[in-house]
């Protein structure tokens, strides 16, 4: 951005010089009104605005590639639960920059609070409201950035490890999720048990699972779900599941980043 500002400034200087020269050599009072008048306009208005904008972006966004600061390239991925959102006052193309405060859970079982600064499209504001779960890259000093560069495979792997570390899934369920056969299931019933585990509601799910050959089997199991996942497992809902063909006694329900 600063390079563009300097180019615009040089263009403004050249145009201004030609504007002055043309006005001085003109034969009437209207000789100042010519095409080179754009030069002073650039110097007075356009160039200062670009330098100001470049200064605002310089600290946090000049080094961005793919939406992630270079310092976070290759950093481990954790899952952050949004606890607060505040505007910084900066906007880019009418899209606000936000400071997103998150409680971050890491695959090795640690938890800490961090703040990610991010430009967010107005149409995506609902996805960064308190309670939402977002993938983040984090550094040893506690700094975080939204993991907008991560592949779906990386995100699912990080989510699996975080849930395992927090006790939300068992090693067997992780084994099923990684080595099982993916298919669909219909939720036959969903009954809360009244138990709450680490802010998650424990429910009993009855599922009718469709095998790859289109035959079906039923399974009932307990699952601890975050509040924003309950709507995905209402009776009649179709969910993605994984199961082991040689052991249909348990399935892993895939609710992506909301599970």
- Digit-coded pLDDT (tens) for 15-57: 555 545 555 455 544 444 455 455 455 445 444 544 444 443 3
pLDDT in tens, 201-248: 899 999 999 999 999 999 999 988 888 788 889 999 999 999 999 999
pLDDT the model gives residue 199 = 79
- pLDDT given for residue 62 in this prediction: 33
Q: How far apart are CA 37 and CA 192, in angstroms?
A: 73
Asked whether the predicted pLDDT for residue 133 surpasses 80, the reply is yes
Task: Report the chain's mean pLDDT, rounded to a whole number.
Answer: 77
Indicate whether 100 pLDDT > 80: yes
| Residue 60, pLDDT score | 37
Backbone angles phi, psi at 242, to 5 degrees: -125, 145
Whose structure tokens read 């990610």? Answer: 116
Residue 95 has pLDDT above 60, yes or no: yes
Handedness of CA 200, 203, 208, 211 (dihedral sign): positive
* Cα separation, 185 vs 211, whole angstroms: 9
User: Can you list the alpha helix ranges (DSSP code H) found in 59-166?
Assistant: 152-165
**Pairwise CA distance, residues 145 & 134, whole Å:** 10
Whether 190 and 222 have beta carbons less than 8 Å apart is answered as no
CA distance 246 to 86: 50
Distance CA 75, CA 148 (A): 12
Shared fold status for 66-149 and 167-258: yes
Nearest-5° Cα angle at 151, 147 to 153:
120
Q: Which residues touch 53 (CB under 8 Å, ≥6 apart)?
A: 1, 5
DSSP string, 154-206: HHHHHHHHHHHHTTSS-HHHHHHHHHSEEEEEEEEEEEEEEEEETTEEEEEEE
Fold (CATH) for 66-149: OB fold (Dihydrolipoamide Acetyltransferase, E2P) (2.40.50)
Band (pLDDT 50/70/90 cuts) for residue 5 is very low
What's the rounded Cα separation, in Å, for the pair 104 and 101?
9
What whole-number distance in Å separates Cα of residue 190 and Cα of residue 242? 18
Q: Which pLDDT score, from 0 to 100, does residue 163 have?
A: 82
Q: Specify whether the backbone of 86 is left (phi greater than 0), alpha (psi in -120 to 50) or beta.
A: beta
Rounded Cα distance between 183 and 4, Å, is 52
Taking only the tens place, the pLDDT of each residue in 135-171 is: 999 999 989 999 988 888 888 888 888 888 888 788 8
With 0-12 / 13-18 / 19 or more C-beta atoms within 10 angstroms meaning exposed / middle / buried, residue 138 is buried
Residue 243 near residue 252 (C-beta atoms within 8 A):
yes
- Domain boundaries defined on the chain: 2-58, 66-149, 167-258
Residue 103 has pLDDT above 90, yes or no: yes
pLDDT at 138: 95
Q: Is the pLDDT of residue 257 over 60?
A: no
Considering the chain, what percentage of its residues have pLDDT values greater than 70?
72
Nearest Cα residue to 37 out of 20, 54, 25, 24:
20
**CATH class assigned to 167-258:** mainly beta
């Amino acid at each position: 951005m600063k390079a563009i500002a300097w180019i615009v400034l040089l263009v403004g200087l050249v145009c201004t010089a030609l504007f002055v020269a043309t006005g001085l050599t003109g034969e009437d009072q209207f000789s100042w009104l010519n095409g080179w008048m754009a030069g002073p306009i650039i110097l007075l208005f356009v160039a200062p605005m670009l330098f100001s904008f470049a200064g605002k972006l310089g600290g946090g966004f000049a080094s961005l590639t793919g939406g992630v600061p270079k310092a976070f390239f290759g950093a481990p991925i954790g899952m952050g639960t949004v606890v607060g959102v505040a505007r910084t006052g900066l906007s880019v193309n009418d899209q606000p920059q936000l400071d997103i405060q998150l409680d971050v859970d890491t695959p090795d079982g640690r938890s800490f609070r961090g703040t990610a600064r991010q430009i967010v499209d107005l149409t995506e504001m609902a996805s960064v409201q308190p309670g939402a779960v977002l993938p983040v890259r984090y550094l040893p000093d506690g700094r975080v950035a939204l993991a907008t560069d991560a592949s779906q495979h990386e995100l699912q792997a990080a989510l699996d490890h975080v849930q395992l570390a927090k006790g939300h899934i068992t090693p067997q369920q992780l084994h099923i999720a990684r080595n099982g056969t993916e298919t669909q299931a219909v939720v036959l019933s969903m009954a809360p048990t009244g138990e709450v585990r680490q802010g998650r509601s424990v429910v009993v799910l009855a599922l009718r699972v469709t095998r790859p050959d289109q035959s079906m089997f039923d399974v009932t199991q307990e699952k601890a779900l975050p509040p924003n996942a309950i709507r995905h497992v209402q009776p009649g809902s179709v969910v993605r599941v994984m199961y082991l063909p040689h052991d249909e006694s348990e399935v892993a329900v895939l609710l992506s980043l909301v599970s």
